[in-house]
Amino acid sequence: MAVQQNGKKSLGSRWESYSPSKTALFWSCVATAALTMILGFGWGGWVTGGSSRAQSDTAANAARVELATTICVDRFGALPDAAARRAELAAITNNSERRQFVETGGWALMPGQTTTDRTIATACATALAV
């Protein structure tokens, strides 16, 4: 056993002789698990299954709207009188009227659908107005 000059045991020898009780060991494990979860969810970027599903649904919807908007803009651009229609759309100042113009034209109607999605029509009208 290593003893220092003042009669106290060294840190290494105290570590070797330490034997935690079951209670201390249990609460140490609980505290470690709680701290790991707090750090993981707080700063580690962990999310719950529900949050993950919500984030993936939001990303999927945004991608769907972006793709449909691109299709709508391409359909509008393929018109023989696209320049005149774009000028007509630019003359409209109200966003809801722009959306209705795109809906009425049928450019935002996606294949297989019977009705136009308002989000897609709004995004398409916004993209065309730029």
- The verdict on 57 and 100 lying in the same domain is yes
Q: CB of 76 within 8 A of CB of 124?
A: yes
Domains held by the chain: number: 2
- The verdict on 19 and 68 lying in the same domain is no
Question: Is-above-0.95 flag for pTM?
Answer: no
- The verdict on 71 and 90 lying in the same domain is yes
What domain range is 28 assigned to? 11-42
For the chain (130 residues), the mean pLDDT of every run of 10, in chain order, is 65 88 95 97 94 97 96 95 92 93 93 91 92
- The verdict on 66 and 20 lying in the same domain is no
Neighbours of 27 (CB within 10 A): 12
Burial profile 94-128: b = 16 or more Cβ within 10 angstroms, e = fewer: eeeebbbbbbebebbbeeeeeebbebbbbbbbeeb
Residue 9 pairs with which residues in a beta bridge?
3
